Amino acid sequence: MTALATASGAGVGNPLLNIGIFAAFVLVTLGIVIKVASGQKTAGQMYTGGAAFSGKQNGVAIAGDYLSAASFLGIAGAIALQGYDGFLYSIGFLVAWLVALLLVAELMRNTGRFTMADVLSYRLKQRPVRMAAATSALSVSFFYLLAQMAGAGALVSLLLGVTGATAQNVVIAVVGAVMVAYVMIGGMKGTTWVQIIKAVILIAATAIMTIWVLALFKFNLSGVFTEAVTMTKGSADPKTAAAADKLLTPGLKYGKTTTTKIDFISLAMALVLGTAGLPHVLQRFYTVPTSKAARKSVEWAIWLIGGFYLLTLVIGFGAAALVGPDAIAKAPGKANAAAPLLAYELGGSPLLGIVSGIAFATILAVVAGLTITTSATFAHDLYNQVFKHGKATPEEEVKVARWAAVGGGVIAILGGMLAKDQNIAFLVALAFAVAASANLPTILYSLFWKRFNTRGAVWSIYGGLLSAVGLIFFSPVVSGKGVDPATGKTLSMLPASIDFHWFPLDNPGLVSIPLGFFLGWLGTVTSKEFNEDKYAEMEVRSLTGHGVAEAIDH
């Protein structure tokens, strides 16, 4: 296969073409951001784009915010090498949006203003709840942002043929600088248009590759599956060849032992429940003018994201069938190389250049969305509401938000440089686990439980946050997995000689999520605080949207 020959080199395709397409995307989107910026003088314009987007536009932007490089490259690679078990990731990410649609989208839009903390502190004591919510939101956003920045460094060696640490650091710095520019210049409005453009080109390119693969097999999906199994059976690796018959059935990755089966359940809980607690996703509900538009945006997101994940099924098995597991395993980035290698196999350097550019654009759009969320959380929840007791002017708040974007960008760049060789899946799993453990229980209790109070919120947020982070720190993803005999690389974040893990699961969701709900209940029932009038006001507002128009700062 031509892809196999390419994989043996330093990179894939034509690095100059890859860089050129990515640079073109940056220049076009920066031009759009400058055009739509229009000052961004108020907090509402900075954080929510003045709530001026339609449900359809916001739905496309949500898809652009959600479909990260992990979705495009990671899931396609997981399906190519693990078959059915890899596709389970797609199912988990999609089902998560049903939770967001049915439980939080409309109610969050009606109750909140700019950030998640607006909802959580609505009927509770402002300072302790906002500090807890901001701590959790910043933690989730940081680890999610760190994963994307580290992913940018990892993609360099694969797509640009660059393996040196200095060159990778330069690319991470460039991505960080561009994302800060998006936020500084265009705020949420500019960032949203970047995400819309990125979503359209990502889904379009994936659809073209899907049709191309199916056309090679006369639009017979079974033929794709059969050839994938045949190519896997022909692998030079005896273990890979022996696993070929399990490619289309559950259990290739998660059915080996009882521990791995439980670990998959834990991961599934984090993925399904974590989405509804991701701060950068929740903030998108405030960029539309009505609760009906918020529902419509989630409906559009479900269709687009669901369709995309169905396409990854063909992309993944297509890579297994046309590229083969051996070529994927030998390529820089291994599983992450499946989609780019398939693009090269189908259309040579031009199509690979497009896919490479889209991969970088994907990272850029996601980190821009995360940056606007972190800057809003710091400026609105901490600076204005906690430090200034709500007395800061909109101009002061926006100024702090811009500086917070710069500070967050610097931290993300430095963190990405340090973590570029680390386990990226670990960082993403941590973000979802913290969101599901700390944010979601408090959100649901705030919206649906009349008795819920400040102590319950604080205990739930901090308890879920600390348990999720603590359990992952003592899990095998940090220490104790040893060395991969095939590559000689350490499988955990720390060297193989260091082992202090005692928690057996890779993902803490099975423990930390129920613990977050329990602590929220325990804190509430052990406190006498209860404001029935404030709850009634919040209930009316969340269900009817009354008072929302007055709260939006245009």
* 233-257 confidence digits (pLDDT tens): 888 888 788 878 888 888 777 666 6
Helices (H), 74-164: 75-82, 84-99, 105-111, 116-120, 126-159
Say how far apart CA 55 and CA 298 lie, in whole Å: 8
Global pTM value: 0.83
Single-letter amino acid code for the residue at 10? A
The mean pLDDT value of the chain amounts to: 81
Average pLDDT over residues 423-448: 83
Please write the tens of the pLDDT for every residue from 402-414: 888 888 888 878 8
Q: What is the pLDDT of residue 462?
A: 96
**Predicted pLDDT of residue 219:** 92
- Report the alpha-carbon distance of residue 402 to residue 423 in Å, rounded: 31
Give percent of the chain above pLDDT 70.
Answer: 85
Q: Which residue has the tokens 């051996």?
A: 326
Query: Which pLDDT belongs to residue 1?
Result: 43
Tokens of 64: 């652009």
Displacement of CA 313 from its chain's centroid (Å): 19
- The stretches of 8-100 forming alpha helices (DSSP H) are 15-37, 43-48, 55-66, 69, 75-82, 84-99
Residue 132 confidence (pLDDT): 92
The contacts of residue 21 (CB under 8 Å, 6+ apart) are 353, 354, 356, 357
**H or E segment to which residue 301 belongs:** helix 291-322
Averaged over 434-444, what is the pLDDT?
A: 92
Binned at pLDDT 50, 70 and 90, residue 5 comes out as very low
287, 315, 382 from 401: Cα distances, Å: 17, 40, 11
Give residue 47's Cα distance to chain centre: 19
Q: Do residues 322 and 345 make contact, with C-beta atoms less than 8 angstroms apart?
A: yes
Q: How far apart are CA 110 and CA 447, in angstroms?
A: 11
Q: Predicted confidence band at 549 (pLDDT cuts at 50, 70, 90)?
A: very low
Cα angle 193, 428, 288; round to 5: 30
Task: Compute CA distances 503 → 10, 431, 474, 499, 527, whole Å.
Answer: 38, 18, 6, 12, 32
Work out the average pLDDT over 426-434: 78
pLDDT surpasses 70 at 9: no
| Candidate ranges 288-302, 374-388, 461-475, 496-510; pick with highest mean pLDDT | 461-475
pLDDT of residue 341: 87
What mean pLDDT is predicted for residues 343-365? 80
Beta bridge pairs of residue 373: none
Give 47-62 as a DSSP string: HHGGG---HHHHHHHH
Predicted local confidence at residue 508, as pLDDT: 92
Instruction: Provide mean pLDDT across the span 327-342.
Output: 80
Q: Are 441 and 459 in contact (CB under 8 A)?
A: no
Task: Name the band, by pLDDT with cuts 50, 70 and 90, for residue 445.
Answer: very high
Distance CA 92, CA 230 (A): 28
Long-range contacts of 327-330 (CB under 8 A, 24+ apart): 327/1, 327/3, 327/4, 327/7, 328/7, 328/77, 328/80, 328/81, 329/81, 329/237, 329/240, 330/4, 330/7, 330/8
User: What are the φ and ψ backbone dihedral angles of 478, each rounded to 5 degrees?
Assistant: -95, -45
- Residue 508 in tokens: 């803490």
pLDDT of residue 548 exceeding 70, the answer is no
**What integer pLDDT is reported at residue 203 of this predicted model?**
92
Please state, in angstroms and rounded to a whole number, the distance separating the CA atoms of residues 334 and 323.
Answer: 12
Find the mean pLDDT for residues 23-46.
72
Reported confidence tier of residue 553, pLDDT bands at 50, 70, 90: very low
How far lies 475's CA from each of 431, 467, 472, in Å?
A: 15, 12, 5
**Two tokens, residue 180:** 């800060």
> Per-residue pLDDT for 424 more than 70?
no
Residue with tokens 């359940």: 265
Report whether pLDDT(49) > 80. Answer: no
Banded model confidence at residue 4, pLDDT cuts 50, 70, 90 = very low
pLDDT in tens, 506-535: 889 999 999 999 999 999 999 988 877 787
> Cα angle vertex 180, ends 178, 182, to 5°?
70
Burial class (CB within 10 angstroms; exposed 0-12, middle 13-18, buried 19+) of 151: buried
Residue closest to 445 by CA, chosen among 112, 119, 109, 131: 119
Max mean pLDDT range (317-321, 351-355, 384-388): 317-321
Q: Is the pLDDT confidence value at 190 over 70?
A: yes
Q: Please report which confidence band the pLDDT of residue 357 belongs to, taking 50, 70 and 90 as the band edges.
A: confident
Percent of the chain whose predicted confidence (pLDDT) is above 90: 18
Distance CA 171, CA 123 (A): 45
Pick from 29-33, 435-439, 546-550: least confident: 546-550
Q: Which residues contact 123 (CB under 8 A, 6 or more apart)?
A: 446, 531, 534, 535, 537, 538
**23 token code pair:** 């640079």
pLDDT, tens digit, 9 for 90 and up, residues 375-385 = 888 888 888 88
Question: What are the tokens at 15?
Answer: 């690095």
The answer to whether 310 touches 172, Cβ cutoff 8 Å, is no
Q: How confident is the model at residue 454 (pLDDT cuts 50, 70, 90)?
A: very high
Query: What tokens does 322 get?
Result: 């046309």
Q: What domains lie within the chain, and their CATH numbers?
A: 2-249+279-420 (1.20.1730.10)
